[in-house]
Chains A and B, each alone.
Chain A
């Protein structure tokens, strides 16, 4: 098993493709750092800006009343409360340190990171069919399910490695641009119940990375299944990324329009940070409900993947 994992890793890491992905990711992080450092200069009148913002929000809420979707109203209200909190605690939300930068990165860049992980996850089985190497791969002494298991574990491991690389890059870039401090500064956030809570920025960043890893496991599993079903790697990669991007936005839109059944879609349940920050996508969803949904989807997808792969005839291609 260990040797098979080494094989799969040999087919992922020494390739130019992997370096390009990491390079683009690094470039994106540097770009964001540069914009934040250069464009968002510290604003001495930040309290006033926040107050103005809040007046605008209250006005908007009053004027539009029922026209706005419920979720948007909640988000505006949350922003208002948070701004009040910043003002009363005398904390500029736009102050820049390494850890606030890390926090901004981990909340905004994951779609890019995930898309890159999906390139590898969507490719890992399909490419063997595309290239015809599957004929050699399955005619050695290893049974099919073990070959597939090695590929799955290699996929998950790649997700972990990419996330670590992502963390290291954003920490290095953040330290370079903003100085290595700010770990202990409090980070304020809206709780699902509508109040504001605080946590050290360091803890908040690691919490978000934890939730991100859960998402990566699930999204990789989706891509792995697609990769097994479609024997063409270009199709598998495209479909995986589309599924992830569209799945997420469609769920958000559906939830915005108040469709209760949105909560049964996998994409609504993947991001567990919603139970700590901001509140769930659909009212009435609980963390345990999401755990149940995710586990159920996870099992179904894996059973399907293994079943298809075991049954599949490697016929004339």
Chain B
């Protein structure tokens, strides 16, 4: 069953009139990974997620979930999918439990035990028989998560899941998604326009702009990529000797210095050599910090700044 990628997207395209909102997206998402859609507002992230579950029709392209063609076998494919688009909007006039029952009725093979189990997992035992109207946003988020987990999906799609959550809520959600991906092998797809958030949450990120796939990056790879330049900050004394030394021994290295710090752009491999050279000449080293070129820089570079189209 796991020989397929969890989700395969082929040539996904959405046009409305003359405007192309999503343009020929193709990629695979593997089981057990947290995959992020990153892009500025209006880049087509939400439309892409909605097309992945037939909320929005596709102009062109196919979606396969666990190898099942979504347009041909909707029910079979959707059995594996749980999706929350924007905020989890539930029936406010029903209780949390009634909401769970409602959506359990709409999915095959979900019994009462599973509902009770999920109520415990999301920690709503105390309030589950209250009307959703009285819930806080965090509680609604948790109830929404319970709704989509009813069917034990192997693919979880979350559109802007952290919108409106406080930092504690974001943290909680992040840990929980990580748990689902690692322990249950669920493929989690998250969309966001917030870079820092994606960096913390995802294994891989697809960068989307103007409906086009610009790049797919593995975040861990990005951090240790040997070819990439890193900015290394040295806290040293005396400053002038250190600057002189580095310029002498590493002539083609870009260097900036301030009163207490010297920052050089170099490869990760070279850092120990610089430290050794400084130490050999009796320069006192108080600290060495290597900063990876952040996803933010790559993102801004790729998308050409903050341009929102």
Chain B residues with a Cβ closer than 8 Å to the other chain, count: 36
Q: Is A140 a contact of B91 with CB atoms below 8 Å?
A: no
Given the interface pairs A6-B105, A7-B106, the reply to whether A133 lies near B89 with Cβ below 8 Å is: yes
Q: Is B90 a contact of A138 with CB atoms below 8 Å?
A: no
Among the listed stretches A169-177, A184-192, A231-239, A309-317, which one makes contact with chain B, having 4 or more residues with CB under 8 Å of it?
A309-317
Q: Is B54 an interface residue (CB 8 A)?
A: yes
Q: Is B75 an interface residue (CB 8 A)?
A: yes
CA A38 to CA B99, docked complex, whole Å: 49
Q: Is A142 an interface residue (CB 8 A)?
A: yes
Contact with B along A117-143 (1 / 0, CB 8 A): 000000000000001110111111111
Residues of chain B within 8 A (CB-CB) of A11 are: 91, 93-94, 102
Residue on A nearest B51 in the bound complex, by CB: A313
CA A155 to CA B228, docked complex, whole Å: 63
Residue on A nearest B144 in the bound complex, by CB: A136
Residues of chain A within 8 A (CB-CB) of B56 are: 313-315
Q: Is A131 a contact of B78 with CB atoms below 8 Å?
A: no
Residue on A nearest B81 in the bound complex, by CB: A139
The interface centre, meaning the residue of B50, B54, B89, B101 with most chain A CB atoms within 10 A of its CB, is B89
Q: Is B47 a contact of A315 with CB atoms below 8 Å?
A: yes
Q: Is B107 a contact of A131 with CB atoms below 8 Å?
A: no
Q: Is B53 an interface residue (CB 8 A)?
A: yes
Q: Is A136 a contact of B88 with CB atoms below 8 Å?
A: yes
Q: Is A313 a contact of B57 with CB atoms below 8 Å?
A: yes
Residues of chain B within 8 A (CB-CB) of A21 are: none
CA A141 to CA B148, docked complex, whole Å: 11
CA A133 to CA B106, docked complex, whole Å: 13
CA A141 to CA B83, docked complex, whole Å: 12
Given the interface pairs A3-B105, A141-B151, the reply to whether A10 lies near B94 with Cβ below 8 Å is: yes
Q: Is A311 a contact of B57 with CB atoms below 8 Å?
A: yes
Q: Is B86 an interface residue (CB 8 A)?
A: yes
Q: Is B75 a contact of A142 with CB atoms below 8 Å?
A: yes
Residues of chain B within 8 A (CB-CB) of A4 are: 105-106
17 intermolecular pairs with C-beta atoms under 8 Å apart? A3-B105, A6-B105, A10-B94, A10-B101, A10-B102, A11-B102, A132-B86, A133-B89, A136-B144, A136-B147, A139-B53, A141-B78, A311-B57, A313-B55, A313-B56, A314-B55, A316-B46
> Residues on A close to B: CB < 8 A?
3-4, 6-7, 10-11, 14-15, 131-133, 135-143, 147, 311, 313-316
